[in-house]
Copies of this chain bind each other. A is one copy, B any other.
Amino acid sequence: MQTRWQRIRNRLHTIVFENDTWAGRLFDIALLLLILLSVAAVIAESVPALANREIFQILEWGFTAVFTLEFILRLISVRNPLQYLFSFFGVVDFLAILPAYLSLFLFGSHELVVIRILRLLRIFRILKLQEYTSAADLLAASLRESRAKITVFFVAIFTLVITLGAMMYVVEGHSNGFKSIPSSIYWAIITITTVGYGDIVPITWMGKLIASLIMLLGYVIIAVPTGIVAVSLTGIANRREINPQACPNCGRQGHDSDATYCKYCAEKL
């Protein structure tokens, strides 16, 4: 039999975490609005023309109070507080209130409360946008599946920009913005990603020649992650079209949609 406390906790959980009741839905939408407002307030405060007004301080502590209360409610109402605390949204919810308290001790960290914007990612789940949630899952799955390839790609890029950066440092000398190897590596990254700020540019003809080769190399390099993601997205999309049926004998899945017999144990599907 449920104690009174358990009943309250279940009720709280329905409001705070679920959104299939009138109260739960209201709670979630109010929360989204508060998050947007609190982020807007921090952004507005940073604009010189609006800065140093007392109103922002009051607003900020108001938002922090509400979000702290919400965080405590979540911790109370959830069955397993630790699991929530170390989940993605648990960490985000905690980081969303931390900078405000930290700013009491550390001057300047206050602007980091914009990290609250990450809480907005709940929006698809809250608004019950099934299509968008599954699109997000697909993209996340695609990036997760490409993890090994993307890591290898970044290790290759890492060694490449260090080598190229050092080469340009030798070629261009200390002048022209290539003041040190780290500066040269920074330039190599700007160039190979095709960002091209133009704050550091080669001056010598040898440097320009190397830069040209790097840029042309960048053509093929930028093609690699695109190819990886495209292939992975296709693969995942195709696999979803695969026969979802499990073998009645051995229980294994992954059969083609045109299979008549289990490919592992020959049982009729």
Interface of A with B (CB < 8 Å)? 39, 42-43, 46-48, 108-109, 111-112, 114-115, 117-118, 120-121, 123-124, 131-132, 134-136, 138-139, 142-143, 148-159, 162-163, 165-167, 169-170, 174, 179-183, 185-186, 189-191, 193-199, 201, 205, 208, 211-212, 215-216, 218-220, 222-235, 237, 253-256, 258-266, 268
Contacts and interface: CB of A to CB of B under 8 A. Distances in A.
Given A179-B48, A180-B47, A264-B261, A222 B220 contact: no
A97 B268 CA distance: 62
B46 A181 contact: yes
A261 B263 contact: yes
A193 B220 contact: no
Contacts of A117: 158-159, 162-163
7 contacts: A43-B182, A115-B163, A131-B148, A222-B222, A226-B226, A230-B234, A235-B237
A268 B201 CA distance: 65
A148 to B, nearest CB: 4
Contact of A219 (B138, B205, B225): B225
**Chain A interface mostly:** helix
Nearest to A253: B258
Contact of A230 (B208, B230, B256): B230
